[in-house]
Each structure stands twice: as C-alpha cells, then as structure tokens.
Amino acid sequence: MRVADYAVAATPKTIVTIGLGSCVAITLHDPVAGIGGLAHVLLPSEAMSRERENRAKFACTAVPLLIEQMQALGARLARMQAKLAGGAAMFTSLIATPALQMGERNVMAARDALQLAGIPLVGQDVGGDFGRSVYFSVADGTMRIRSVRRREIVV
C-alpha cells in the first residue's frame, strides 16, 4: 500500500504499508467479525492540501472511510479497536522552530478522529526519529512494526 491509500479485508489477510515517516498508519479491527482496515495517512486535515478528494490522505477523513468500508463487510463500530504507528519527526535537525512536527500533528489528528468516532486506541508505536513499515494481521489485529534502526515489535 502507498502513501494516502487504504485497504480493508476479512480474515486471513495481512495488509502491508511501508515507508512511514511522519505519516501515520491507522488500523481498525473488529475481532468478532475478523475484519480490519489500514490507512496510510499523509496529513492531519484537509486544510493542509489543495487536493482534498482522497479521503485516505487525511486523518480526519480516513477514520470515517475505514469505518464505512469495514461496516460494508460486516464489521460493527461498537466492536472496533484502533492502533497507530508512525508519526516520526524525521528532519528535526533541519527545522529550527519548536513548533509541532508534522508527525506529531498526524498522531494528534488520528487520536482526535478515533475519539470522535468512539473507537478505543488499544496500541501504538509512534514518534521517534525513524521510519517504520507495518504488517497488519486482520486475523488477530496485531501490527508487526519493522524499522532499520531497531528490532521488530508487535503491537
């Protein structure tokens, strides 16, 4: 999966996205139905882009998009759980301002969208200054997160 893209699937599928820097992977999982979705979010909100048609591009629209697509497969909102990965500060040495980095803004926007939807955040691996790749298992909702700079972790 690419940047500003999403996928939903039923068991037994693994959804993969690579190259998360300041981007955030948002995963939703309905453990009873065995349905999951992942969005590779580029920006916190539509206000930050001229091109706004792609709902997977923004944290504020990607969460409702995943919910809709998962419900179409039989998932229920009341059973959904979320996990986040990414949101790194990739170029801190190049930016002199103490303002929030794009990665932090993406994480905050994803958390806000999940809270608005009433979906609990049950796991995360966010921040830092390194990139990540995510392997999301729809069968059990686990995220395997790989990075060049550290060992693989499971969330």
- Per residue in 79-122, pLDDT (tens digit) is 999 999 999 987 655 555 555 688 999 999 999 999 999 999 99
d(CA 110, CA 108): 5
Given a cut of 80, whether residue 46 has pLDDT beyond it is no
Nearest 10 degrees: Cα torsion 101, 114, 82, 150: 10
Residue in 127, 99, 119 with CA at minimum distance from that of residue 23: 127
Question: Which pLDDT score, from 0 to 100, does residue 121 have?
Answer: 98
d(CA 133, CA 153): 11
- Per residue in 121-138, pLDDT (tens digit) is 999 999 998 999 999 999
d(CA 136, CA 155): 10
Strand partners, 125: 85
Q: Give catalytic residue positions.
A: 23
d(CA 90, CA 145): 17
